[in-house]
Chains A and B, each alone.
Chain A
Amino acid sequence: MRLVEPVVELGRGLYRTFASMFEKPVTIQYPEVKRPVRPRFRGRHVLKRYENGLEKCIGCALCAAACPSDAIFVEAAENTDEHRFSPGERYASTYEINMMRCIFCGYCEDACPTEAIVLGDNYELSFTSREQAIYPKEMLLEPVPDTAMLTPREVEPGKFNRSVPEMKDSQD
């Protein structure tokens, strides 16, 4: 047995490759089948809303300050009870992220006092021009389930005065 070891080893190699032909392929047929992302995956940003449909973002621009690549641009404006976007005094009238600068570090997520900006699951971020690389607020905002919850909207006065909600520790 020891003498014919070269042949035995060649045979073992051939057997191994042949046996692997009958294993299930690991290929995922990508555009049709997508592998679910990990819980802490950092994909495209999403601007979250409260359950009543008001935007969480209060336009404080802490995310823009935290951003190491200066990809975020925020401009704030005043809320009124007749024309309310978010709880508290102010909301983001302009919110733009330049996806060519963003490095998906997640510092904006950490900096946000209201947990408004979250790095989501979407990783399919292709664009064909530099202008398309700038994602405006309309693209980033979470969609609402029905039109009554759209912002801006009229609310009863004095109810939404607190801009930063009660916080819990994050779960994962």
Chain B
Amino acid sequence: MDWITWLIWVIKSLVLILGLLTGFAYLTLYERRALARIQTRIGPNRAGPQGLLQPIADAVKLIFKEELTPAKADKLIFFLAPIITMVPSLVIAAVIPWGTSVRMFGREITLYMADINVGVLYLMAIASIAVYGIVLAGWSSNNKYAMLGGLRSTAQMISYEISLGLSFVTVILLADSMRMLDIVEAQSGLWFVFIQPVGALIFLTATLAEVNRAPFDMPEAEQELTAGYHSEYSGMKFALFFMAEYQKMIVISAIAATVFFGGFRGPFVDQIPWLGPLYLFIKVVILLFGMIWVRATFPRIRYDRLMALGWKILLPLALAIVFITATGILLAQQFGAAFMWFIPVVSLMAGFVAVVAIDRTLRRKYHATR
């Protein structure tokens, strides 16, 4: 453990954090441009070529805005809440592997911060911490709307984290490991999204709820809650919440890419390790576009329906998926690898049953209102 190892760690974490911060800035631009195109507009194109300097203009604006603290707020917690929300969204990125390792300056440098053998557990744990910041922000600003936003956020995150965790379990079963690197290596043949498509769908749905994105952006419903938990925040404190939300989007897309879409794996990545980060980046950009696309398409769903979807549809479906995956792996071990096809086929059947259940519920409600 010489000092150069420490230096490498410091440089790697700096690169990671700066990358996420710039990623956040340009994700806002990406989202605004993509949304604009979907709405047949052009979007911000004034600041710099094609609006490339728009994030900088936004940052300058936010920095110079006045910061207000409500008179009856709990000052300490009001101050801490943005930080508690912000830090996990950076820390969580540490276990995402961007590649295996490259040789630089005569040293073998790994393209990930930490390779812990309980990587998935770490992800789940850190992802849950962020909700504290949101709840504390809602509570400490001493505002009814903010409080409601915070509470909704807790309820929503707890509900969807279970489905999220269960879809992680299917990945752990398939990869037979909780290390992120092992999970990626296990997908060198076939991505897990093909083996467990329903699991991937549950994962993507639950992550939308987890990062408070439309159509599950209940905690910050502008129309009903006047922006929810961050109503009372302004200036840089608000920017921190904003940042946390977008960084969580990036990180969760990277996680989705890692566990279901083959991570940094792609053609020729074994020969040229530098392709790893590139492939992961492309996958993240595509997944982020998916999030923006969904936001542009679907209206926010009602709160009781959100809860009903989480508890009555996604949770039983996720449990069934875990069971089916385990059964499929056992069958494959007993009767040969061909039985792996049991998993996607039966999972899709279970998904079909869930869709039929939604259809029946909606129809019943439709007729009840007549």
Interface residues of A (CB under 8 A from B): 2-7, 10, 13-14, 16-18, 20-21, 23-27, 29
Known: A14-B293, A14-B297, A17-B296. A3 touches B40 (CB 8 A): no
Given pairs A25-B40, A27-B42, 19 additional interface contacts (CB within 8 A) = A3-B355, A4-B355, A4-B356, A4-B359, A6-B358, A6-B362, A10-B298, A13-B298, A14-B294, A18-B293, A20-B38, A20-B40, A21-B37, A21-B38, A24-B40, A25-B36, A26-B40, A26-B41, A29-B42
Q: Does B352 contact A (CB under 8 A)?
A: yes
14 A-B interface contacts by CB (under 8 A)? A2-B359, A3-B355, A4-B352, A6-B358, A6-B359, A10-B298, A14-B293, A14-B294, A16-B297, A21-B38, A25-B36, A25-B40, A25-B41, A29-B42
Contact of A13 among B297, B352, B355, B359 (CB under 8 A): B297
Q: Does B334 contact A (CB under 8 A)?
A: no
Contact B37 A3 (CB under 8 A): no
Known: A4-B359, A6-B358. A17 touches B293 (CB 8 A): yes
Contact A17 B297 (CB under 8 A): yes
Q: Does B39 contact A (CB under 8 A)?
A: yes
Minimum CB–CB distance for A2 against chain B, Å: 8
Known: A3-B355, A4-B356, A6-B358. A25 touches B297 (CB 8 A): no
Contact A23 B296 (CB under 8 A): no
Interface residues of B (CB under 8 A from A): 36-42, 293-294, 296-298, 352, 355-356, 358-359, 362
Complex Cα distance A17/B289, Å?
12
Contact residues in B for A14 (Cβ distance below 8 Å): 293-294, 297
Known: A21-B37, A24-B40. A3 touches B293 (CB 8 A): no
Contact residues in A for B297 (Cβ distance below 8 Å): 13-14, 16-17
Closest 3 CB pairs of A and B: A27-B42, A17-B297, A13-B297
Contact A25 B42 (CB under 8 A): yes
Nearest CB in chain B to that of A23: its residue: B40
Nearest CB in chain B to that of A31: its residue: B46
Contact A3 B298 (CB under 8 A): no
Nearest CB in chain A to that of B290: its residue: A14
Known: A4-B352, A14-B297, A17-B296. A27 touches B359 (CB 8 A): no
Complex Cα distance A13/B299, Å?
11
Complex Cα distance A19/B200, Å?
25
Contact residues in B for A10 (Cβ distance below 8 Å): 298
Minimum CB–CB distance for B337 against chain A, Å: 30
Nearest CB in chain B to that of A22: its residue: B37
Contact residues in B for A5 (Cβ distance below 8 Å): 359
Contact residues in B for A17 (Cβ distance below 8 Å): 38, 293, 296-297
Contact residues in A for B38 (Cβ distance below 8 Å): 17-18, 20-21
Minimum CB–CB distance for A9 against chain B, Å: 10
Contact residues in B for A16 (Cβ distance below 8 Å): 297
Contact residues in A for B355 (Cβ distance below 8 Å): 3-4, 6-7
